[in-house]
Amino acid sequence: MYVCICFGVTDTEIVEAINEGHDSVNAINRELGAAGCCGSCMPSIEAIIDLHKGDEGTTELLYHAAG
């Protein structure tokens, strides 16, 4: 699923970047460009990072972003 429409970045690309050690929105921005334009994808990127780290509290953000 596309997370950052401005730069065409998918959730799969974000997870791959997290696995490579890019574990903050700023790091994802530097690596992929996501969150570098309008910023509307920042909550979704934060949620993906949190979920990947095991923080289940942000699951609802993904539903909001997809809805």
> What is the CATH classification number for the domain harbouring 10?
1.10.10.1100
Given this model, what pLDDT does residue 53 score? 82
Range of the domain at 31: 2-66
Q: How many structural domains comprise the chain?
A: 1
Rounded CA separation 55/65 (Å)? 17
Question: Is the pTM above the cut of 0.75?
Answer: yes
Tens digits of residue pLDDT in 4-50: 999 999 999 999 999 999 999 999 999 999 999 999 999 999 999 99
Kindly write down the DSSP assignment for every residue of 1-58, as one continuous string.
-EEETTTTEEHHHHHHHHHTT--SHHHHHHHH-TTSSS-TTHHHHHHHHHHHTT-GGG
